[in-house]
């Protein structure tokens, strides 16, 4: 028995935010019916062809779902949506602003007919306010939220390498839906969840916001280093490879001086005796650290850091992560089916393989259309009629 077994989710979704939200519901056992446009489907299906001809974004966010193609502008197709909602628990959508209102599928319209239904709207800027109708994509929200202003090197802003704004919104959609299901168990009533990509990212930006409160200087762009804690970031060893290290307190600074760079007198140097002063004089301290690391290999630097109890990491590339020994030791990889064959997939974080998370196939476009329509009581003639009208 999976935690969400018996929960039915209907979703109008594309790109990353809503699909990532609903995939996590599917991981926990929910039945997720993904309604897609006939012929083309979720446009994320065509982002690239890196996974044996399938798109990398799509296979990540859409396993364990059923794909139903419907042209919801067709009256019979829209009636199918209402048949699905009759016993649905959750309705998720991240269509263009105003689209569900035009279809009569907004929360205010649905709540009278389906009082137990939980409706989760995911959008760029939220359902009201002056920017509610503005288009939003991940990079644009990274920019609007201030994230780009603190990321990258000085004068050279850099986006996050993954869709961080979409992921943030998807996570808040997921957690709010779980909370709403618990609340409905107590009240018997559904509710509306209004998740904004902007608000999700600004929540994650709260430390830089508070750091710069009352007009103070914002955290500088510091590349792969920490903007306000030092030494915390990448340092090159003598073999040309990079070690990431991070000091959190003065006790660790003392151990770093004594055990790692073996210059115990440095801990009392007035330039470096507090974190604020080390951050202020980071260029001078960087030269000292690099000089100390020059005779050492990466393995030797990490050995000293471990001896001192200083947090550290290797700077792995993507290929290294596929082979990561910690993930292998914890048996975190499994395999899932796709229309192009079997691919590896990471078990959902927090769930052990013994919990039997749902790891079903990534669906082909419209793969489950006929089966779902028959389940709803449509016969062969009705299905053929809808197909002839391009409604499915």
> Which tens digit of pLDDT belongs to each residue from 69-113?
999 999 999 999 999 999 999 999 999 999 999 999 999 999 999
Q: Where are the chain's structural domains?
A: 8-204+328-388, 232-315
Confidence (pLDDT) at 167: 98
Do residues 14 and 96 touch, judged by C-beta distance below 8 A?
Answer: no
Neighbours of 109 (CB within 10 A): 14
pLDDT tens for each residue of 197-252 = 999 999 999 999 999 999 999 998 888 899 899 999 999 999 999 999 999 999 99
Q: What is the CATH number of domain 232-315?
A: 3.30.1540.10
CA distances from 119 to 32, 40, 122, 184, 257 (A): 14, 25, 10, 12, 55
Q: How confident is the model at residue 1 (pLDDT cuts 50, 70, 90)?
A: confident
Confidence (pLDDT) at 326: 95
- CA 349 – CA 337 distance, rounded (Å): 20
What pTM, to 2 d.p., does this model score? 0.92
Confidence (pLDDT) at 198: 97
pLDDT tens for each residue of 102-153 = 999 999 999 999 999 999 999 999 999 999 999 999 999 999 999 999 999 9
Confidence (pLDDT) at 356: 84
Position 5 pLDDT exceeds 80: yes
**Mean local confidence (pLDDT), 247-273:** 95
Higher-scoring residue by pLDDT: 1, 285: 285
Position 258 pLDDT exceeds 70: yes
**Mean local confidence (pLDDT), 3-18:** 97
- Phi first, then psi: what are they for 271, rounded to 5°? -70, -20
Confidence (pLDDT) at 155: 87
Position 352 pLDDT exceeds 90: no
Which CATH architecture fits 8-204+328-388?
Answer: 3-Layer(aba) Sandwich (3.40)
Position 353 pLDDT exceeds 90: no
């Amino acid at each position: 028995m999976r935690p969400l077994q018996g929960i039915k989710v209907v979703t109008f979704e594309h790109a990353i935010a809503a699909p990532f939200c609903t995939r996590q519901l599917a991981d926990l056992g929910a039945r997720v019916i993904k309604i897609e446009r006939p012929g083309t489907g979720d446009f994320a299906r065509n982002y690239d062809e890196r996974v044996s001809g399938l798109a990398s974004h799509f296979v990540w966010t859409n396993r364990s779902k059923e794909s139903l193609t419907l042209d919801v502008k067709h009256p019979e197709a829209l009636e199918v949506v209402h048949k699905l909602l009759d016993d649905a628990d959750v309705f998720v959508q991240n269509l263009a602003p105003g689209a569900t209102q035009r279809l009569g599928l907004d929360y205010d319209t649905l709540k009278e007919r389906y009082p137990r239904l939980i409706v989760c709207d995911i959008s760029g800027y939220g359902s009201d306010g002056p920017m509610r109708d503005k288009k939003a994509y991940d990079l644009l929200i990274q920019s609007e939220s201030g994230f780009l202003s603190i990321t990258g090197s000085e004068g050279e802003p850099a986006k996050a390498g993954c869709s961080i704004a979409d992921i943030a919104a998807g996570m808040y959609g997921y957690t709010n839906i779980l909370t709403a299901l618990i609340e409905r168990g107590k009240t018997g009533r559904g509710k509306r969840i209004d998740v904004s990509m902007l608000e999700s990212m600004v929540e994650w930006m709260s430390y830089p916001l508070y750091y710069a409160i009352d007009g103070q200087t914002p955290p500088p762009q510091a590349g792969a280093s920490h903007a306000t804690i030092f030494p915390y970031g990448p340092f090159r060893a003598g073999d040309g490879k990079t070690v990431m290290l991070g000091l959190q307190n003065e006790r660790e600074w003392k151990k770093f001086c004594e055990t790692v760079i073996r210059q115990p007198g440095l801990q009392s140097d007035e330039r470096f005796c507090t974190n604020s002063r080390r951050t202020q004089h980071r260029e001078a301290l960087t030269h000292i650290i690099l000089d100390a690391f020059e005779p050492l290999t990466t393995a030797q630097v990490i050995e000293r850091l471990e001896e001192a109890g200083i947090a550290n990491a290797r700077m792995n590339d993507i290929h290294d992560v596929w082979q990561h020994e910690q993930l292998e030791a914890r048996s975190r990889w499994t395999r899932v089916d796709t229309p192009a064959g079997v691919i590896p997939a990471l078990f959902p974080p927090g769930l052990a393989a013994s919990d039997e998370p749902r790891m079903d196939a990534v669906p082909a476009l419209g793969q489950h259309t006929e089966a779902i329509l028959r389940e709803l009581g449509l016969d062969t003639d009705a299905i053929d009629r809808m197909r002839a009208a391009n409604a499915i």
